[in-house]
Structure formats: structure tokens, C-alpha cells
Chains A and B, each alone.
Chain A
């Protein structure tokens, strides 16, 4: 046990704990005037999340590699069931009613795809048409199922993580360039298939003032909150935009504007520093990993974090359309927190296995 503890990556853990602390402070500022019970619930979710973290620390990567294919197939099956028997919530069919709980198969698929791609490229490189073709099929099949739900946010996460893993696996740059060009060219086609509310979000992004009380209201108010915070902020619990409820969804997707209003640019920089430490640390772990499978898992997790952070802050500050992605560790939300901590548990496992001699690992093998 002591040995296991010694092989922990303490920098990663410290980064996570700092982020969680900052998150709890910010969440308190966002909810103290309204439903303060949310804060307590977030603390409970933290407990569950850390349990998941510790659990995944102990699961050997080999085992994860073994279950990756069955896990992927199960997730795909559930995903295929959604259009047939799923519940409709807020205009989209995303949920499966399992009796005891509602399951969002697209959430499962996010991790299943990461495992299966990491497994696929653990012994291959993305430089042959055959290898790449299988990978693309693995990614595009669930992506197309998710986008018809419709769930643009999760689709983006899926494709972004898959692309990051392909690049890490040696995807030739010219192929990547070709794919990006094709993707850009297909944008008008994508526009054609988008739902009205999705189109509205894009239009609102282009000119938020065009509809100041409608769809543009959220972005305008959060921009005002961020800007009025200035360099040094209005002070803890002193943000007027949040306190007087001008901010929409201020404890979930728009929580960044609470932090930026009350803490100013200084607090934003502190948050960015913590995120940079976290992601860099994940990448270092990926670099030091003994197995390609572990490396790719880390790459996938890091890319998901980067995407969440960039898209969330970009949307709140008016750079990107409003896509419902949470800000890691800061936004309120149990399932996001638990899955993120679970994912970091896997990263920690990669770190542990790269430091310790694990009996069932074949020494000296960089691959599986």
C-alpha cells in the first residue's frame, strides 16, 4: 500500500484538489443567494467522484484493454436503442430509462470510444488506410447516432478526442489537412441538417445584439459580467450580475462568468494556471507511460479536458456558440464531476503503472 502511495502522481492530485477547491468557492458564490443546497450536493458528488477515482486507480490497464471492445459494443447497442425507445427531454432524444436511473448512452460512448481507439492503436499506427479506416468507422458510427439525437456538444467531444488520438497515433499531417479541408467544405451541408435552435445559436454568436432579450441575452449578460469584473474583480460575493440573477445558468454552464466577475482577470489567470498544470501533467504521464494504450488513454482524457475548457469559456465570453459543455471541476453537475474524476483515476493508474513494476506487465514492452 505504501508503495502504491509512493507511486502516486502527487502533482496531478494536487492540481485536481486545487481545482476542486476553486470550484467549490466559485459554486458557493453562484448559489449562496438561491439554492444553497446545491453546494452541499456538489460536495456529496465529490465524495462519489473520489471513490470512482480511487477505484480506477486500482484497476489494471490490461483489464481495461480487455473490456474495451465489449464495452464499446454495449455502448453502441444502447446508443442504437435511443432513437427507438429513448425519452425526449428538451426537444432531444438522449436518454434511456433503465427503471432505476436515466442513462445517457452518449456519455458512455465518449469513454468507450476512447478505450477502443487506444486499444486499436496500441499496436498500430494511423498511417495505413486500413488502420485508419477501422478507426474512422469506430468513431463515425456512434457520432452519427449522437448527432441525430441531436447532441452537437457530445458529438464534438467524440470527434475531437478521436482526432487527438489519431494525431498521436501518427496520422500523416497531409491527411489531417485534407480531412480539415473536407470538414470545412461540408459546413454548409451540416448547416442544412442542423436544427433550428442550433442554427439560432450560431446566428446569435455572429451577432448577439440582434436579439438582446432572446437567444443573445445569455451571451450579452455573461460578457457584461466578465468585463465588469475588470482586472481585479468585484470581490467575493460582490458580483452584481450573478447576485441579481442577470446571469443565466450561473451555477452550471455560465459559472465562469461568476468567477470572472468576482475574481477578475487575476482569478481567471489562476484558473488557467491550474488547468495548464493539470493538462501538462496528464501529457507528461502520457509521455512516461510504459504502454501505448496508457499513453493514448491520457491523450484522450487530456483532449476532452481541453475541449471542455476552451468551448465553455469561449461560449461564455462570446467567442463560440452556446454549446452545453461544463467547465471541468467548476460547474455544478454530479455526473460530469464523477466521470471526470473517474477518467483522472485512469490517468493516475497509468502514472502508477509507469513507476511501479506490475507483475502482469511484460517488462520492456512499449506496446501492450
Chain B
């Protein structure tokens, strides 16, 4: 019995050895594994821990301001708060949006828009929910940010256009980066210039974003800022534009549709460029609602169109100077010869009428320009031929882009350079088309297929004033003149034109005498009245428009182009009023208002 107990005891003690060995073995094995993690894999895992906790957040740059020639702000930055959301960090998007919507008072329309934006963006990139908020609006969210996982409130700046309607087409607008912009290196919360100067000078204005290294917790909430690389502000841009002139032009134009361009005759600087109606560019910043965009797009007044550069119209009588110059170049004696205007010109198949039914009687080039006699220029056009007319027009900068930094720009149309070629080419197309002699005559008075943009006409006035220098219109203040080419026009020919343009304003009976004779500066100019009856007939066929609208659309386009002061030209002006009526009575007064403003500013400066 005793022996058996002893054997059992020995066996038990042997087994104890096994247990003594097991613990160190197990812990030793674990130690090896931990040594691998904490020593061999340490660097890799430490990096992962940093990736976990560190978040690189972009710091958006402040966009450069745009000011006018006097330093008045045209595109400014205002401090405000914006609410951002990183979709992948949100739990319960619907509930979150409902709360935010209630706090920030979003319209159902806006909520839908935001939802769409979240769906179409990458889940790891911040999405801009709301912008331009005041502190009172965001403070309920900012104070309880830990309840809003994935939401961030940041202070920043937003674009503000003090003269939004007045400068809409020139300055343009911004909108939020789209998916395609991200590939170009933009951040999802950045605003990018989409039109006008904001687009053309985007790289100049934008600046470059900085970054901020933040420590975040497992739910993505910011705990601390560790490092900061400041952003670089975009450059300030000073335009040649004078907002006072722009205002004067807009006031004079009233609620009429049209365009005004004022250029410096020596540098080509754009002192004013107005297109009416305008639109409120401030509405683009928060993400324009589709409804508003559609209404602008479908508005028959086409507010989004920059009429100064993107639309081309028949130049009407403002073109007669070029027909005159073409004539003088071919036949120098034309400067003195006269012709009879009975009020019409008989052609084989039809009569071409002068605007003055009773006729102008005996006219020469000077008086034909002053009184805008059509018959004189029908005959002159017939005499010099279509090729000479279009060559001259091209030489003086029509039918081609002016090169202003506001794409897209319209070229306008100079009809067939060589009429006989056109007839031949047209015969191949299904619609047979012959170039009629009468069409050359119509072109000679600036009607027919010929179209020009108001900017081209303003530049034409500048080229006449500066002695044949065709300039690139410059948007920036202090830009050097860029002469695209110098026209070798004989000074005595140019003087005939200039004198006639002066008489248009200075002599009683001149088409612009009444509005401009008493202007503070001596003005030289030319009015134009473009017939639109044919267009009106087209409109009637479509007959979508109301009767009043059609009647309005029957009205002619009114033009005025000119420069001042006559003796020492500084500015060239083009005024275009769509369906405005008569050049003399409807467009020239706008030019008068501009000249008064310019003269008053000059006097004040002295």
C-alpha cells in the first residue's frame, strides 16, 4: 500500500515536470511572435498607425481679386463658412441630411441637388454641402460636430461680384470642380473659373492650395492640427475696365437688349464691355439650381450670350466707311466726283431703295457718309466690286477674331471673297445659288450676309482713329499695345472718312447731330440702322412668339460707332441696340452718356 502510494507520488511528480515546461514554451512562442511584430514589422506597422491617425487636409487658396482701372472691386472674396461632408465617414446619411437640412434651412430642391452631388462623388473626398454661411447659421452644427460624423465646418472665402449683372459677361463666374477637373489636379472643393476673365485668367487668379496635417480619431474627427503648409493666394488682376463707364453705358441703355464696347484707340485697352441683359453671377457660387440655369438658357433674350463678342449682326451704315475706303483706293478721283440720288437705284430685276425715299439729290463721298446715302454706296459698291469690298473689310479686322482673351469669340461673316468662285462652288451643292450684282450693292451698305460683332466695330472705329493700326483688344490694365497689323492707308483718304464722321456729329442734318453735337468732347462717328424685316418673317413662320414680341422683332437694330476727341482721339466706341430702332436716335445717345462720363472723369482728375 505504502509502495503503491509512493509510485503514484513519483509518477505525479514526473507529470509536474511537463507542466513546468508547458508555460515557458507557450509564452516563449508568443514572445517570438510579438518580437516579430514589434521588431521586424515595427516600421511597417508604425506607418500604418500613422496612416490611421494622420489625415492630410487641403487648405484652399484665396482666389485673386479682380479690380477695375480705378481699383474698384469687381470680383471680391468674402469670409464665410462652408459645410463639407466625407461620404465614407458618415453613418446614416439620410438622418444626417435631414438634420442638416433643418438646421441650414435647405429647400427640397437644394436637398435633392446635394444628394445628387454626394452620389456622384468619390466617397473618400469631401463634398461641399453648403457655402456662404454666416457664423450664426453654422454654429449649431459646429458646436456639436462630434454628433455629425463625417461633417466638417470650415472657414473660407467665397467669390462675390459687387457688379454681378453689369460685369457678368466680362468677368464670368466660377463653379465647383467636376470629376474631370480632379484629373487636372484640382481638389473636389475648389471653385474654378468657367467663363469670362475668371476662365481666361484662371491659372493667374487661382493660387495654389496648401495642406494641413491633422490627427483624427477612428471616426474621422479632427483631434489636433500637427503641421501646416500654407496655401498661396492667387494674383490680383487689374482690368482696363472702368466700372463708371460701364455703369453709364448700362444706365443709358436702360432695359434694352444690346452691347457697348469702349476701347482705348492707342492701346486697344477695353475700357467698357457691356452686354445686356446680364445675369446674376453670384448665384453660381452655391451651385446654381438647375431651374435657374434652364430659365437663363431658354430665355429668348439670351442673357448668357455675350453680345459684344459672341453675337454678330449686320453692321449696316457703319460699314460704309470701308466701302468708301475701298473706292478711294481704286479710284482716287472719287474724293471729288459727285452722283445723283433720286431715292432709289434701278436694277434689271428690282429697284434698290435709299432710306430717304425722296432722295439726297447730288452727293459726293463726304455728304453721302454724313447723310448715310444708300444709293451712293450701291453705285460705289457696284463699281469697286465684291472682291475689293471684302478685301478691305478683312484688312480692317472684320471677319476674323479680334483675339481678345474671352473665348469663345465670333468671327462674323464677310460674304464670298470672290463672287464668281462662290457661284461655281454653289452649283455643286443641292441648293443652286448665284451671286447677284444686287448682293454686292447690299453688302456695300452693310446689309445682306455681312455680319460683325460690336467689338469688331469698336476696333474698326479705333483703327480709323489711330491711323490704321489694327489692335488686339486688351483686358488688363497697363497692357502694351499689340498691333496685329498696320494698314497702309493713304492719310488723305483716311482724312476724308474722318472729316465725314466728324460732320455726322457736328453738322446739322448729320445723323448723330442731335445727341452728340453738344457732347463735352468733339466726337466723330457714324450711325447705322440694320433692317431685320427678313428675320422677322422667319420668326413669324416659327410663330412661337407673341404678337407684341413679333412687332418688336420687326424693329431695326440700331448702331453707333465713333471716336473722341476728334482732334486727339482717345477712345473708340461701339453701341449696338438689338431691335433698338434708329442709330441716330437710339444708339448715339448711349455714346453721348459714355463721353459725358469720360469727360467728367478727366475733368475731375485734373
Q: Which residues 17-45 in B have Cβ within 8 Å of A in the complex?
A: 18-20, 22-24, 26-27, 30-31, 33-35, 37-39, 41-42, 44-45
Indicate if the CB atoms of B31 and A228 lie closer than 8 Å.
no
Give CA–CA (A225, B42) in the complex, Å. 10
Residue in chain B with minimal CB distance to A171: B15
Q: Which residues of chain A have C-beta atoms less than 8 A from B44's C-beta?
A: 227
Smallest beta-carbon distance B221→chain A, Å:
9
Q: Which residues of chain B have C-beta atoms less than 8 A from A299's C-beta?
A: 19
Indicate if the CB atoms of A168 and B19 lie closer than 8 Å.
yes
Residue A246 contacts which of B22, B46, B218 (CB distance < 8 angstroms)?
B218
Q: Which residues 314-368 in A have Cβ within 8 Å of B in the complex?
A: 314, 317, 319, 366-367
**A-B complex: 4 closest residue pairs judged by Cβ atoms:** A227-B45, A228-B49, A244-B217, A228-B46
Smallest beta-carbon distance B135→chain A, Å:
29
Give CA–CA (A229, B38) in the complex, Å. 6
Indicate if the CB atoms of B218 and A244 lie closer than 8 Å.
yes
User: A228 and B45 in contact (CB under 8 A), knowing A164-B19, A170-B11, A366-B9?
Assistant: yes
Q: Which residues of chain B have C-beta atoms less than 8 A from A276's C-beta?
A: 23-24, 27
Give CA–CA (A221, B52) in the complex, Å. 9
Residue in chain A with minimal CB distance to B36: A227
Q: Which residues of chain B have C-beta atoms less than 8 A from A245's C-beta?
A: 217-219
Residue in chain B with minimal CB distance to A256: B34
User: A223 and B45 in contact (CB under 8 A), knowing A168-B12, A260-B38, A283-B20?
Assistant: yes
Instruction: Mark contacts of B470-497 with chain A using CB atoms, 8 A cut-off: 1 yes-contact digit, 0 otherwise.
Output: 0000000000000000000000000000
Indicate if the CB atoms of A230 and B12 lie closer than 8 Å.
no
A125 at the A/B interface (Cβ < 8 Å)?
yes
Indicate if the CB atoms of B16 and A286 lie closer than 8 Å.
yes
How many chain B residues have a CB neighbour from A under 8 Å? 40
How many chain A residues have a CB neighbour from B under 8 Å? 48
Give CA–CA (A245, B12) in the complex, Å. 48
Indicate if the CB atoms of A280 and B42 lie closer than 8 Å.
no
Give CA–CA (A313, B8) in the complex, Å. 36
A69 at the A/B interface (Cβ < 8 Å)?
no
User: Number of contacts between A and B (CB, 8 Å)?
Assistant: 132
A287 at the A/B interface (Cβ < 8 Å)?
yes
Residue in chain B with minimal CB distance to A265: B38
Residue A287 contacts which of B16, B42, B219 (CB distance < 8 angstroms)?
B16
Q: Which residues 85-129 in A have Cβ within 8 Å of B in the complex?
A: 125
B13 at the A/B interface (Cβ < 8 Å)?
yes
- Of residues A244, A287, A302, which shows the largest number of chain B Cβ atoms within 10 Å of its Cβ? A244
A269 at the A/B interface (Cβ < 8 Å)?
yes
Instruction: Mark contacts of B210-226 with chain A using CB atoms, 8 A cut-off: 1 yes-contact digit, 0 otherwise.
Output: 00000111110001000
Q: Which residues of chain A have C-beta atoms less than 8 A from B218's C-beta?
A: 244-246
Q: Which residues of chain B have C-beta atoms less than 8 A from A169's C-beta?
A: 12, 15
Smallest beta-carbon distance A351→chain B, Å:
15
A252 at the A/B interface (Cβ < 8 Å)?
no
Q: Which residues 235-277 in A have Cβ within 8 Å of B in the complex?
A: 240-241, 244-246, 260, 264-265, 268-269, 272, 275-276
Indicate if the CB atoms of A244 and B53 lie closer than 8 Å.
yes
B48 at the A/B interface (Cβ < 8 Å)?
yes
A231 at the A/B interface (Cβ < 8 Å)?
yes
Indicate if the CB atoms of B42 and A230 lie closer than 8 Å.
yes
Indicate if the CB atoms of B53 and A231 lie closer than 8 Å.
no
Smallest beta-carbon distance B79→chain A, Å:
31
Indicate if the CB atoms of B16 and A225 lie closer than 8 Å.
no
Smallest beta-carbon distance B42→chain A, Å:
4
Q: Which residues 419-461 in B have Cβ within 8 Å of A in the complex?
A: none
Indicate if the CB atoms of B33 and A265 lie closer than 8 Å.
no
Q: Which residues 209-240 in A have Cβ within 8 Å of B in the complex?
A: 221, 223-231, 240
Residue A227 contacts which of B13, B41, B215 (CB distance < 8 angstroms)?
B41
A309 at the A/B interface (Cβ < 8 Å)?
yes
- Of residues B15, B34, B44, which shows the largest number of chain A Cβ atoms within 10 Å of its Cβ? B34
Q: Which residues of chain B have C-beta atoms less than 8 A from A264's C-beta?
A: 38
